[in-house]
Structure 1
Amino acid sequence: MDTIEQLVAEAKAAEASETYALRALASMDLTSLGLDDTEEKIADLCRKAVTPKGNVAAVCVYDKYVPQCRKALGGSGVRVATVCNFPHGGTDIAAAEAEAKAQVAAGAQEVDVVLPYRAYLGDDRETAVELVRKVKKACGSEARLKVILETGELRDPRVIRDASLDCIAVGADFIKTSTGKVAVGATLEAAAVMLRAIKGVQPGIDRPLGFKPSGGISTVKDAAGYLYLADAIMGEGWATPETFRFGVSSLLGNVLTTLGIDANTDDGSGY
């Protein structure tokens, strides 16, 4: 297999195309996690999730908006995700477990939990991983669990690999790069490490494993790099909405423009 450096160089050279734009659209977790979110903003997010070229995979919102999104998107196939232990990745296991239980009860179909990355870096990996285990238990069979590693803070590729494997071992369905709330979001280097971790353990895991880059992905060219990596490492055909998501708030407009749709025009199509 090529080295990570070679793969990343090739991924950076991937060009924007309609094919990559369509793949990005189908695998998008369209996200609004602002302190200024309102019911009106979330309603607009739900409208944008349904486009003339296909729907996004999910919307990701704070949990108080989950029922609104479930109602608005019913029948569309768009899933509703929320965030837990977000964004700081605290170490209160009981609080995170209770939060996730309430989110699932409210209708969340996916939960993106922040790994207590500071504890993980500070030689308290046991607490960090146990929080993920308990949140997975709270999700049960009702919701997919995505674990946010905050790779921009973990930094060391060996630590990113270890955190990926530890979270998968306690039930993560997806491993995700970033909250989007720290200085360094997704990077192709971290993505390559995480995808290789999935590749290495998937044969021994009896559930699909997924990957979600998030933080700083705003153009089809950005997305193309991550999709190229997934194809190169996992094999072409692996990266579907069941196994690959983009956590994004601003990518949709560039995707639609690439596909020849005026992102600023309300044509009654749902966008």
Structure 2
Amino acid sequence: MNTDINADDEQLARRAIGLLDLMALNADDTDQRIIGMCQRALTPLGPVASICVYPKFVLLARTALDRLRTPDIRVVAAVNFPYGSANIESAASETRAAVMAGADEIDVVYPFRTLLSGDQQVGMDLVAACRDACGPRTRLTVTLETGDLRDPQTILDASRGAILSGADFIKTSTGKVVVSATPQAARIMLESIAEVGGQVGIKFAGGIRTFQDAKKYLDMTQARFGPHWLTAERVRIGASSLLDDLLIQLGVLAPGPHGNCY
């Protein structure tokens, strides 16, 4: 253990590993990079919650994880990513293909630009179409791109609309924009979840690179719903680079540059 963190922080850092959603969402991703991420997902301190890939890599990721005998690590497919198109049929079609390929969860980017133009219905219809395409067993995350929505009321409207249309999780950001996750947006999203009795989960993503970054959001969540809520069924942190910092804080990695191995 790193003596710079106290016992409570050590416990929270260990818990955070099991909430991680490792992401490979770059245009130049290769089969080998996906396989490497799957290997990295089984850490010395236990598995992460999930990995997130483009639909074309879902089957490869699921196969790699099964070969590693880690069936509980979920495969999340990012659809309508990253620009949040308003094309409902395209998003639904991508969703169906990813489910057929073996995705455990779908992460769809909400068409935030239509909401900014004053039309909330397109976003709700797109989420509902993806919810239908998921079927009864595949969970649905809706990424709201809160850094572009900006206005608190607009973020609240998007959160409520996504929840009403069938989201199992709402997520702060794709991480592909200038402003990603912010504490203000997270508080608004948590309040929208509280309105439905905490029956929907939250994913924090975008600019979360260190344990201290993650701690802000986890503390906020615990303050709203209690420590029992910090499970992978309710909370995820989308942040691949965070894993190294957590392992450093917990004494598994020495500080310094790291690749995909321990």
Could you tell me whether the CA contact under 8 Å between 1:173 and 1:210 is conserved in 2? Answer: yes
Equivalent pair of 2:202/2:235 in contact (CA under 8 Å): yes
The residue number in structure 1 matching 2:10 is 18
Distance change (3 Å), C-alpha of 1:185 and 1:265: closer
Partner of 2:3: none
Shift of 1:67: 0.8
Match of 1:209 in 2: 200
| 1:106-255 superposed matches below 5 A | 106-202=101-197, 208-255=199-246
- 1:236: how far off? 2.1
| AA aligned opposite 1:214 | A
Return 5+ residue gaps in structure 2 as ranges: 1-5
Amino acid at match of 1:130: D
The corresponding residue for 1:80 is 75
Paired residue secondary structure (1:145): strand
Cα displacement string for residues 29-88 of structure 1 (whole angstroms, at most 9, x for unaligned residues):
011101111011111100100011011000001111111111111231111001111111
Q: Which runs of 5+ in 1 are unaligned?
A: 1-13
| Alpha-carbon contact 2:55-2:94 (below 8 Å) kept | no
Alignment check: 8 A CA contact 2:155 2:185 kept = yes
TM-score by length of 1: 0.89
- Offset, 1:15: 11
Maintained 8 Å contact 2:95/2:133:
yes
CA displacement, residues 99-151 of structure 1 (integer Å, 9 cap, x when unaligned): 10001000011111011000011112111110011001000113110000000
Counterpart in the other structure of 1:49: 41
Q: Which residue of 2 aligns with 1:63?
A: 55
% identity of equivalent residues: 46
Q: SS at 2:234's partner residue?
A: coil
The answer as to whether partners of 2:36 and 2:260 remain within 8 angstroms in 1 is no
Inter-partner Cα distance in structure 2 for 1:265 and 1:246: 20
CA separation of 1:163 and 1:15: change in aligned 2, threshold 3 A: farther
The corresponding residue for 1:98 is 93
Question: TM-score, structure 2 length as denominator?
Answer: 0.92
Whichever residue aligns with residue 64 of structure 2, its letter is A
1:9 equivalent in structure 2: none
1:259 aligns with 2:226: no
Tell me, what secondary structure is at the counterpart of 2:197? helix
